[in-house]
DNA sequence: TAGCCTATCTATAATAG
DNA sequence: TCTATTATAGATAGGCT
């Protein structure tokens, strides 16, 4: 879909890579949104730029979809292009459970409040400084009532909340991953 | 992009919806894969079909990307499509306030709370005033190696396991948002 | 049986460079 | 912005569970 055909291999020229990343990311999110609207599907797209910034799209929200995925509300069948999927979802679940146990005991209301306040304080400051540059993304015209697209980009240590608290990711809290099954391999039509 | 243009609204005819879902999902995964290869990005796409089956694409793996996202290895900046920003940010604000109210009663940090709330008020106003102009951006350099595409759809009971390493998604554990950061704005060269 | 997903072909809308 | 290339609507058929 462009003036000329390109090979699907890493773009070396940095400037081109940046432009392509931006355009394609936008297109990807748009496509995801359209899929949700057209088919009544729910989807989440997480993209980390080479610069390590995270861009997220979600309908009804990335967190909701991720939770659902992690909770394995569905069954599985797989399609794996390169062989390597085998995953770790379970381990993650188990580990998450372990962490939860610990965290729950360690974190007291007061502690949470302190961190919460600090985070918001920081947020407030950054927003004040940067708001000028922010712009809204208008992807799909009449998207579903709840579609969110966000770019996350906080220091590794800082826990980002945009979804976190508000939506509560107690993924590990309930249930157990179900139906993890890598059925068939996938392929050609992928690339 | 087809025999004829279509409106982006829910497809009513079930058979058409299914065909479209399948085709567009395939196209979405393909795009995600290309973005990863071309730009050295890492991405995960999770899609739940109306039939409730989960289809997942990930590079280097969906789990890896999700973990990274859940652990908030990066900072945040928001990008919300049309009109969703308000709801999102404000909801967070309101939720935060709500939590504050509760906490307030539970604890004795009234003084701090007051200031905190003031900060949130300020934040809320600024966000409300600027949201219309928000936009997103981002990018950068090099990337990874494997890609995985999977469709999950196994009976909840059949859980298979592996052990392991890993990250845990104990989001709820932290309970509180940290490092909430609307980072920077962004660069026109993004759009 | 019914429900849900995929394959193929072609004209054409959407878009990458 | 401009357009050659791509993605996909539509129609239909086949397949898996």
B60 has a chain A CB within 8 A of its CB: yes
The arithmetic mean of pLDDT across residues A101-109, rounded, is: 30
Cβ contact (<8 Å) for B77 and A141?
Answer: no
Cβ-Cβ pairs closer than 8 A, A with B, add up to 601
pLDDT value, residue B97: 31
Six-digit token string for A96? 């998450």
Question: Smallest CA–CA separation between B101 and chain A, in Å?
Answer: 11
| Model pLDDT for residues A139-149, shown as the tens digit of each residue | 333 233 367 77
Q: Which of A5-19, A115-129, A147-161, B157-171 has the highest mean pLDDT?
A: A5-19
| Model pLDDT for residues A159-180, shown as the tens digit of each residue | 222 222 212 222 222 222 222 2
Which alpha helices (H) appear in A4-88, and where do they start and end?
14-39, 62-70
Cβ contact (<8 Å) for B96 and A109?
Answer: no
pLDDT above 70 for A2: yes
In Å, how far from its chain's centre is CA A64?
Answer: 10
From A19, A97, A179, residue closest to B152, measured CB to CB: A179
DSSP summary character for residue B84: H
Is the C-beta atom of A183 closer than 7 angstroms to strand C?
A: no
Residues of chain B under the 70 pLDDT cut? 73-146, 151-191
Residue A27 or A105, more confident:
A27
pTM: 0.57
Backbone conformation region of residue B3, classed left if phi is above 0, alpha if psi is from -120 to 50, else beta: alpha
**Rounded Cα gap, residues A55 and B106, in angstroms:** 36
At A152, give phi and psi (nearest 5°): -100, 140
pLDDT value, residue A147: 74
Rg of chain B, C-alpha, whole Å = 21
**Rounded Cα gap, residues B80 and A89, in angstroms:** 29
């Amino acid at each position: 879909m462009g003036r000329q055909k390109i090979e699907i291999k890493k773009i070396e020229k940095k400037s081109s890579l940046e432009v392509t990343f931006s355009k394609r990311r936008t297109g990807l999110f748009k496509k995801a949104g359209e899929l949700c609207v057209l088919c009544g599907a729910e989807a989440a797209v997480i993209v980390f730029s080479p610069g390590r910034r995270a861009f997220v799209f979600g309908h009804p929200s990335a967190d909701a979809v991720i939770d659902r995925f992690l909770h394995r509300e569905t069954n599985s069948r797989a399609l794996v292009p390169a062989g390597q999927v085998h995953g770790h979802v379970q381990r993650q679940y188990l580990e998450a459970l372990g962490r939860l146990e610990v965290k729950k005991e360690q974190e007291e209301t007061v502690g949470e409040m302190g961190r919460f306040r600090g985070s918001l304080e920081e947020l407030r400051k950054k927003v004040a400084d940067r708001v000028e540059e922010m712009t809204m993304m208008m992807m799909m015209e009449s998207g579903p009532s709840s579609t969110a697209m966000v770019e996350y980009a906080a220091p590794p240590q800082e826990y980002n909340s945009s979804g976190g608290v508000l939506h509560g990711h107690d993924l590990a809290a309930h249930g157990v991953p179900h139906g993890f099954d890598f059925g068939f391999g996938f392929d050609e039509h992928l690339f």
